């Protein structure tokens, strides 16, 4: 029986997975067949290795595919050019043996020549590789996975420079028909890793690389196709398209996040209290429960995210500004911080602005930033002290939460200047709310409605959802428009009641909480 896999390469014979046929055809037709050299650089666990494995098999009828993994080469193999040349030839020979081509002398003899010499320069290595490509009866495609393993080594940059030289003169000096590198780091960022921070120039050996524009994320339709295969085997009775849309809403199609949600529902959720049957587990509520569990566990993907944010403080600051303040940052892929965020898979482009790549990343980052702040935050401590009074019969009293927050905020921030409250007001509410729902509920910021003036927080507490709009006061007309927006948003969520927290800088403002009716919806409006 197949299962959902979240570790290593996915195989359709063993795992439930999104079918890659369309992606493979596109890569072959638009890149490999056209003799392109290109780089698949995506965030961690984005399906790069699975794509390469499937592509290797897909190309075998038309090409000799030499697929390498630089994780097989140790740091010592990059010590200098002669050492690298010998190690590279050795790993190519092993690949030929694995693929049953050790009797192909036109391929093995040039590599044996390199390994038979005590010392080789990169030039001598490429002379042998060129002879191998010239003599081969089929064009040769070179794939190298995990190029990040080599990206801190100058000898690898020199290798790329040689490859570029041969590529530009390939009509006279035959070389690989196509070259495919895969990893997180883009080749143009190698110099950033090799040079000091004072030098911000980019590396040029790979300016021959074709753009890789093929999407590696999964669409809701593709997720539904995978769930359809699962449903054919298990007959749970799930609403396939509704579940697929919900998974996509949380993940934006990030492959490992999609598989992790499915794996949790399949293996851990079905049968426990509240999700007694598979049909109940495979639902929107089941997806939410899976996400909640994912955020409680340290995973390689999340650990990598923390490491990168520790290394790149400017990226952390940008993410905090987007999440807390709804800061609008114009999208420019050539700006260094944005480029880094795109490369790691943390950021994306939405309507010409920089945005966090998916809802799960937003939730994780919000938890991460909140946890860092909580230890020194009196606001967080106050929320923890007030918590007991807010939960009655396992239901969260959001009316009381807003009332108490208004009282507390006015006491500690009543005299603060406008800029301070604009910057920290929403953060204070989120800090106050976190210990109240922590461990039982969850919340996330709705990316589609967030901007400098408005942020919608979706709170989920034991299956009950609360929509809370946080907004900066910009006059009564804007406020009335915001009330109507919230009423419309409640209609979208099929809710009759919502909450609005306004940070008002009008000196004649009326602080407190009141109930109003807008378009048949009840809105609890709090003003601080």
* Residue 493 structure tokens: 């969520």
CA distance 111 to 91: 10
The owner of tokens 């009564």 is: 476
Q: CA separation (Å) from 525 to 336, 370, 400?
A: 41, 25, 12
> What pLDDT score was predicted for residue 389?
86
pLDDT given for residue 442 in this prediction: 84
Q: What pLDDT score was predicted for residue 470?
A: 87
Give the pLDDT score at 475.
Answer: 64
Q: Cα separation of 484 and 29, whole Å?
A: 50
List the beta bridge partners of residue 459: 443, 466
Q: Other C-beta atoms within 10 Å of 380: how many?
A: 22
Contacts for 317 with CB less than 8 Å, ≥ 6 apart: none
Which structure tokens are listed for 495?
A: 């809710």
Among residues 457, 482, 473, the alpha carbon closest in space to that of 398 is found at 457
Residues 6+ apart with CB under 8 A from 465: 458, 459, 493, 495
Burial of 73 by CB count in 10 Å (0-12 exposed, 13-18 middle, 19+ buried)? buried
CB atoms within 10 A of CB 517: 10
DSSP classification of residue 210: B
Closest CA to 431 of 385, 377, 359, 499: 377
Q: What is the pLDDT along the chain (528 residues), one digit of tens a residue?
A: 899 999 989 999 999 999 999 999 999 999 999 999 998 988 889 999 999 999 999 999 999 999 999 888 888 888 899 999 999 999 999 999 998 998 889 999 999 999 988 888 999 999 999 999 999 999 999 999 988 776 667 888 888 888 888 988 988 899 999 999 998 776 665 554 555 444 444 445 566 778 898 999 999 999 999 999 999 999 999 999 999 999 999 999 999 999 999 999 999 998 898 899 999 999 999 999 999 999 989 999 999 999 999 999 999 999 998 888 778 899 998 898 998 899 899 999 988 999 999 999 999 999 899 888 888 888 899 998 888 889 888 889 999 999 999 999 888 876 666 677 777 788 889 899 999 987 788 888 876 656 556 778 889 898 888 999 888 776 665 567 778 888 888 888 889 999 999 888 776 668 889 999 998 999 999 988
Residue with tokens 């905020």: 409
């Amino acid at each position: 029986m197949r299962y959902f896999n979240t570790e290593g390469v996915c195989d359709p014979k063993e795992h439930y997975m999104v079918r890659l046929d369309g992606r493979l055809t596109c890569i072959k037709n638009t890149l490999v067949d056209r003799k392109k050299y290109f780089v698949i650089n995506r965030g961690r666990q984005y399906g790069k290795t699975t794509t390469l494995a499937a592509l290797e098999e897909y190309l075998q009828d038309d090409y000799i595919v030499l697929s390498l993994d630089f994780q097989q080469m140790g740091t010592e193999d990059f010590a200098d050019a002669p050492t690298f040349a010998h190690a590279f030839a050795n790993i190519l020979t092993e690949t030929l043996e694995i693929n049953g081509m050790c009797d192909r002398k036109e391929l093995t003899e040039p590599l044996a020549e390199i390994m038979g010499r005590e010392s080789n320069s990169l030039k001598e290595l490429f002379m042998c590789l060129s002879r191998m490509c010239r003599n081969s009866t089929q064009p040769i495609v070179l794939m190298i996975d995990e190029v990040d393993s080599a990206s801190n080594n100058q000898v690898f940059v020199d290798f790329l420079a040689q490859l570029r030289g041969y590529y530009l003169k390939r009509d006279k000096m035959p070389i690989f028909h196509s070259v495919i590198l895969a990893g997180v780091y883009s080749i143009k960022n190698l110099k950033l890793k090799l040079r000091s921070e004072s030098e911000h120039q980019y590396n040029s050996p790979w300016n021959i690389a074709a753009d890789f524009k093929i999407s590696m994320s999964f669409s809701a339709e593709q997720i539904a196709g995978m769930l359809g295969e699962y449903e054919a085997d298990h007959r749970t009775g799930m609403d396939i398209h509704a579940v697929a849309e919900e998974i996509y809403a949380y993940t934006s199609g990030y492959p490992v996040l999609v598989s992790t949600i499915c794996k949790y529902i399949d293996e851990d959720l079905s049968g426990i209290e509240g999700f007694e049957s598979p049909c109940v587990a495979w639902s929107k509520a089941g997806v939410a429960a899976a996400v909640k569990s994912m955020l409680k566990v340290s995973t390689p993907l999340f650990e990598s995210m923390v490491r990168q944010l520790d290394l790149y403080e400017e990226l952390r600051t940008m993410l905090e500004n987007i999440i807390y303040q709804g800061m609008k940052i114009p999208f420019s892929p050539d700006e260094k911080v944005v480029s880094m965020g795109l490369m790691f898979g943390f950021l994306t482009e939405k309507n010409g602005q920089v945005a966090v790549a998916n809802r799960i990343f937003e939730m994780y980052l919000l938890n991460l930033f909140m946890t860092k702040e909580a230890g020194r935050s009196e606001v967080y401590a106050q929320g923890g002290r007030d918590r007991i009074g807010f939960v009655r019969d396992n239901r969260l009293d959001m009316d009381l939460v807003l009332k108490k927050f208004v009282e507390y905020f006015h006491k500690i921030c009543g005299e603060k200047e406008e800029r301070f409250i604009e910057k920290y007001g929403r953060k204070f509410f989120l800090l106050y709310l976190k210990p109240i729902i922590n461990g039982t509920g969850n919340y996330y910021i709705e990316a589609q409605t967030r901007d400098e003036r408005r942020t919608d927080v979706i709170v989920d507490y034991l299956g009950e959802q609360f929509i809370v709009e946080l907004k900066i006061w910009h006059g009564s007309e804007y406020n009335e428009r915001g009330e109507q927006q919230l009423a419309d948003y409640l209609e979208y969520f099929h809710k009759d009641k919502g909450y609005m927290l306004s940070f008002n800088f009008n000196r004649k403002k009326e602080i407190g909480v009141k109930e109003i009716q807008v378009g048949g919806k009840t809105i609890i409006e709090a003003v601080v």
